[in-house]
């Protein structure tokens, strides 16, 4: 377990991350960049980790041109061969899991277990993509015309631009990249400038495999920049697909820009996720699920539990159990596996946390557990906070918004129809859950009249999605889908083919055209 700056320096060396790094790469070729120089600080201890010089316009153009050139040959490689390369990437990630997981934890602030889990998600999606490389199937349809055959096939779409957020520095990129690669696409990744070193480590791990297989380096590209680079990607007609993860505000901007040029998007945006705890809930299941959902990653997951909608008969008991559970939380260095909760990403996030607390109180929220910024030994970075719990009404203005911090809202309900209406009565629609041992309640929740979210769970929390299912949400969450199931179709273009093997030319719909 990494627990000191010295050990972090060893990890950086193992991953090939330098003290000062350029912000753009075409495969293993790192480009000179002339943008602003930034320093990545760890929210765990406030110490500087390494520097990155952000990409400029010249580096951006070189990356896109290389990706465009690489696409010409990568798309022609048979999909199972592309899958074999992705299999090797998964094996390489296994070798570097401990180092990369620790870097993710240290640079972002999530617990070491969650950092390791994020790398495991990368490994899992590689395994999934390998199998998928032999299953990029189309359908065969019966033609109304004699001696004709109809079918559909799927072709690569081209350059896939991936814009990822700080809270999952590496996994969400892998969700997109592994699937895109087996589909025959090439990728340009813009990570969050808050966590650039984790991305650099990934680029070096992955591109070594492409090099070993003699693949054009432009299949895998990295470009680290500010919002200006993200805007260039959204406006760039050479990228037919942009997959963007982040806030709803950011997603609307990206969606509008890509839509103007009639490109495609996969948008994974904000969540305002609720767990309904019915009168028939097993609280030994419900409480751990609610607590992990609310405080895991210090409340900085898009699937974090923001609201508990609790039946009035259990409200006081649930409240008491939560107070007891929160009293046992250990807050501190995320690299110490004894701790449950690490820091927020930076002091801006801390300020948002404090602002949200004040607004909830001003609206009339009742403080159950007081949230506060922690100071003293072990909290020198200024990014550690004590998770808060409020009793509120669902219609409060702050409750309608996602605050990327560990603030949990408790809401009382009388009937299940009322609870479902409350759950759905927010602009976001990512993840949801119900805790119940009653089959009728669970089935209603999963029915057309139930949850309006892209993810709906029974007797598990709102966070912790597996890669086998398509991940994404509705409404202001964006509507995109990544990862499992048939999400691969978003990375390809569909083509319908009709073959006439007769000696005549019959027309569809019985139309006659004779001369």
Which residues are catalytic, by number?
Answer: 268, 302
Q: Are 102 and 113 a contacting pair, CB within 8 Å?
A: no
Q: How many C-beta atoms lie closer than 10 Å to residue 39's C-beta?
A: 11
Q: What are phi and psi of 421, to 5 degrees?
A: -65, -40
Q: How would you class 75 by CB atoms within 10 Å of its CB: exposed for 0-12, middle for 13-18, buried for 19 or more?
A: middle
Contacts of 260 (CB under 8 A, 6+ apart): none
Closest CA to 345 of 231, 229, 195: 195
Q: Are 268 and 479 a contacting pair, CB within 8 Å?
A: no
**Would you give the end-to-end CA distance of the chain in angstroms?**
81
Alpha helices in 239-388 (DSSP H): 248-260, 283-295, 315-327, 347-363
Q: Quote the CA–CA distance of 235 and 257 in Å, as a whole number.
A: 6
Contacts of 242 (CB under 8 A, 6+ apart): 160, 161, 163, 233, 234, 254, 258, 263, 264, 265, 266
C-alpha dist (Å) from residue 42 to 3, 347, 456: 13, 11, 34
Q: How many C-beta atoms lie closer than 10 Å to residue 159's C-beta?
A: 25
Q: Which two tokens stand for residue 472?
A: 């994404």
Q: Are 55 and 223 a contacting pair, CB within 8 Å?
A: yes
Contacts of 218 (CB under 8 A, 6+ apart): 26, 27, 63, 66, 67, 68, 69, 70, 71, 186
| DSSP letter, residue 341 | B
């Amino acid at each position: 377990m990494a627990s000191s700056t010295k050990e972090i320096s060893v990890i950086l060396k193992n991953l090939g991350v330098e003290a000062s790094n350029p912000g753009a790469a075409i495969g293993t070729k790192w480009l000179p960049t002339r943008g602003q120089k930034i320093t990545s600080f760890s929210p765990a201890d406030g110490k500087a980790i390494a520097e990155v010089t952000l990409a400029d316009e010249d580096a951006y153009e070189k990356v896109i041109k290389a990706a465009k050139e690489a696409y010409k040959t990568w798309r022609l490689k048979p999909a199972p061969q592309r899958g074999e390369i992705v299999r090797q990437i998964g094996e390489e990630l296994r070798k570097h899991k401990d180092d990369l997981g620790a870097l993710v934890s240290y640079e972002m602030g999530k617990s070491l277990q969650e950092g390791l889990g994020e790398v495991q998600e990368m490994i899992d999606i590689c395994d999934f993509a390998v199998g998928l490389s032999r299953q990029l199937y189309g359908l065969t349809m019966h033609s109304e015309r004699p001696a004709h055959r109809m079918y559909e096939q799927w072709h690569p779409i081209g350059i896939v631009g991936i814009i990822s957020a700080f809270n999952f520095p590496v996994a969400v990129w892998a969700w997109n990249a592994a699937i895109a690669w087996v589909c025959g696409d090439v990728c340009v990744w813009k990570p969050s400038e808050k966590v650039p070193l984790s991305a650099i480590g990934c680029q070096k791990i992955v591109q070594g495999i492409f090099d070993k297989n003699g693949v054009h380096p432009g299949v895998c590209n990295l470009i680290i920049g500010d919002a200006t680079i993200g805007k260039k990607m959204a406006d760039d007609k050479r990228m037919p697909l942009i997959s963007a993860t982040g806030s709803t505000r950011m997603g609307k901007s990206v969606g509008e820009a890509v839509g103007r040029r009639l490109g495609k998007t996969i948008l994974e945006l904000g969540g305002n996720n609720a767990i309904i705890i019915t009168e028939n809930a097993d609280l030994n299941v419900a409480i751990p699920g609610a607590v992990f959902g609310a405080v895991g990653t210090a409340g900085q997951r898009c699937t974090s539990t923001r609201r508990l909608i609790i039946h009035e008969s259990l409200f006081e008991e649930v409240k008491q159990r939560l107070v007891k559970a929160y009293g046992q939380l250990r807050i501190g260095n995320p690299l110490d596996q004894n701790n449950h909760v690490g820091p927020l990403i930076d002091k801006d996030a801390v300020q948002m946390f404090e602002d949200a607390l004040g607004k909830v109180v001003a609206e009339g929220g009742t403080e159950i557990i007081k949230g506060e910024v922690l100071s003293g030994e072990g909290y020198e970075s200024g990014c550690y906070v004590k998770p808060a719990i409020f009793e509120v009404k669902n219609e409060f203005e702050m409750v309608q918004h996602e605050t990327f911090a560990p603030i949990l809202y408790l809401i009382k309900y009388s009937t299940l129809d009322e609870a479902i209406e409350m759950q759905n009565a927010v602009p976001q629609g990512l993840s949801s859950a119900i805790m119940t041992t009653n089959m009728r309640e669970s089935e209603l929740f999963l029915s057309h009249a139930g949850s309006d979210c892209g993810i709906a769970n029974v007797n598990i929390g709102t966070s912790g999605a597996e890669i086998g299912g398509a991940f994404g949400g509705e409404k202001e969450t964006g509507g995109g889908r990544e990862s499992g199931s048939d999400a691969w179709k978003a990375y390809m273009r569909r083509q319908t083919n009709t073959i006439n093997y007769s000696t005549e030319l019959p027309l569809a719909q019985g139309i006659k055209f004779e001369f």
